[in-house]
Structure 1
Amino acid sequence: MDKLKTFLLLTVSFLVLIPLFLFFIPVQKAVVFYHENTTKISAYLPIDSGETFQIIFTHSIHLSDVVEKYRITKDNKIEQYEIIFEQFGIGMPSNAEAGQEFVYEDGKYHIKNLNNVFESMNIRNGRTVSEHRLVWGENDQHMVWFNDYFSPGAWYTVKVEDLTLWKLMKGVKIHD
């Protein structure tokens, strides 16, 4: 009888503990888009430390693309390392700061070596000119339009997090 009780206890413990571990232990690093300033995951992009992604948007005044390049740090932060644009104007930098490099290549201005590190970022999907894009992967091979995942005019808090299976199930995986 003691063997049966021990077996049942071990079986029940196993059946209860394994799902708990599966749902609450981080399994995937991701760039996570939270709806506004909430804990509601709208979408996530699986990514690893050191990998890069870009956010491209069409400037609402001069209507040319602006490319912001980011990399994921080992401590789950977002580092902006470059910005590329075609025209100077409202909201655009006019020169590089100390330690940065300002170059003109292929008809575009590049500010390199930015080293801007963020715990999180707030990003608004364009309302008037809604042409935001997310680019990632080796040689920037993947691209999606924000409008495929986010409402025009809506804003999101973007963070890098190690997600559990439970959180992965709550959001929409971004893929091309």
Structure 2
Amino acid sequence: MRRALLAASGVLLFACLLFVPLAETFTFTETRADEPAVHYIRVDGNRNFVIRYTHSIHLSDVVETYAVTDDGKIRLARMEYEDLAIGLPGHAEEGETFSEKGGKYVLEYDDKVLDSFVLLIADIDADLEFRHGGRNYDLKEKLQRGKAYDFRIRKLSLFELMKGMNMNGG
């Protein structure tokens, strides 16, 4: 009886270790797939990240700065860009501050928090980079062009980490 209880406890502990979400990650999940692949980058001690892309019309860089909130949501901190017009705001809305600094436009957000957003990996030769923890990830290289990905912060289990695609290179 004691061995059976010990064995059952061991199996339960193993299942918990395997299936309980523990690792906080940035996840990129295909939006239009029958069995969507999950690509992930582990969140390290630094809770800030940046997405830098080349605007497809202006051909200038747009830098978006974000932070992970304590409850695992995405806080948009600021956008910085060089050109106004299509897709890039020229003024602030409520809860925002718009300014021009050194030839660049800066839009700062007081408290814009998102659960997730969809990121299109366009099939054009323009930069799309994710920066976190001192590393730069070329999303055009890591993800499939022409696909859309749901981006969010998720805690993944050991099983999900093994099943998913680690973009950290490990």
Same-fold status (TM-score > 0.5): yes
Q: Provide the secondary structure at the position in 2 that maps to 1:15.
A: helix
Q: Deviation of residue 50 (structure 1)?
A: 7.2
One of 1, 14, 22 as aligned partner of 1:19: 14
Q: Deviation of residue 49 (structure 1)?
A: 8.3
Partners in 2 of 1:156 and 1:112 — Cα distance? 25
In angstroms, what is the RMSD of aligned CA positions?
2.0
Match in the other structure for 1:10: 5
Q: Deviation of residue 10 (structure 1)?
A: 2.9
Of 110-119 and 62-71, the range deviating more from structure 2: 110-119
Q: Counterpart of 1:111 in structure 2: which amino acid?
A: L
Of 53-62 and 123-132, the range deviating more from structure 2: 123-132
Match in the other structure for 2:68: 72
Residue 30, structure 1, aligned to residue 13, structure 2: no
Gaps of 5+ in 1: none
Matches within 5 A, 1:25-104: 25-36=20-31, 40-47=36-43, 51-104=47-100
Gaps of 5+ in 2: none
Q: With structure 2 as the length reference, what TM-score do the two structures score?
A: 0.88
User: Quick one: percent identity of the two aligned structures?
Assistant: 29
Q: Provide the secondary structure at the position in 1 that maps to 2:59.
A: coil
Q: With structure 1 as the length reference, what TM-score do the two structures score?
A: 0.85
Q: Counterpart of 2:13 in structure 1: which amino acid?
A: I
One of 116, 128, 150 as aligned partner of 1:132: 128
User: Are the structure 2 counterparts of residues 78 and 134 from structure 1 closer, same or farther at C-alpha, using a change threshold of 3 Å?
Assistant: same
Give CA-to-partner distance per residue, 1:17-50, whole Å, 9 cap, x none: 1220111212111111111156734311211687
Aligned residues: 168
Structure with the greater alpha carbon radius of gyration: 1
Partners in 2 of 1:49 and 1:119 — Cα distance? 20
Partners in 1 of 2:116 and 2:32 — Cα distance? 11
Match in the other structure for 1:169: 162
Q: Deviation of residue 114 (structure 1)?
A: 4.7
